[in-house]
């Protein structure tokens, strides 16, 4: 069976997180965030991270996963995502 990747894009505060959670629940899968700022533990203002309650609903990757003091780029993202 072929795997499907659903990509949700759009500006901040249009409901991407809620839609991603609904789809993840429907398809019994997890969420991989590609947001360039939500991955940083230290950034909590202006990045619209999922709430603690939303994070409890579905496993998320790349939310609070790295420090701003660590290197983060496309190559690091790829290595982490393929684990």
Per residue in 41-64, pLDDT (tens digit) is 999 998 889 999 999 999 999 999
Which tens digits make up the pLDDT trace of 25-35? Answer: 999 999 999 99
> Mean pLDDT, the chain, as a whole number?
93
36: three-class secondary structure by DSSP: coil
Confidence at residue 9, expressed as pLDDT on a 0 to 100 scale: 95
Domain limits of the chain?
16-81
Residue matched to tokens 């965030």: 33
> Residues with Cβ < 8 Å from 33, sequence gap 6 or more?
39, 60, 61, 62, 63
Query: Residue 10: is its pLDDT beyond 90?
Result: yes
Q: How confident is the model at residue 71 (pLDDT cuts 50, 70, 90)?
A: very high
């Amino acid at each position: 069976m072929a795997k499907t990747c659903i990509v949700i894009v759009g500006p901040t505060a249009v409901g991407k997180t809620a839609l991603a959670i609904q789809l993840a629940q429907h398809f019994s899968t997890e969420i991989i965030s590609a947001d360039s700022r939500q991955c940083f533990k230290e950034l909590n203002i202006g990045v619209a991270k999922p709430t603690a309650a939303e994070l409890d609903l579905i496993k998320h990757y790349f939310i609070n996963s790295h420090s701003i003091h660590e290197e983060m780029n496309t190559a690091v993202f790829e290595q982490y995502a393929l684990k």
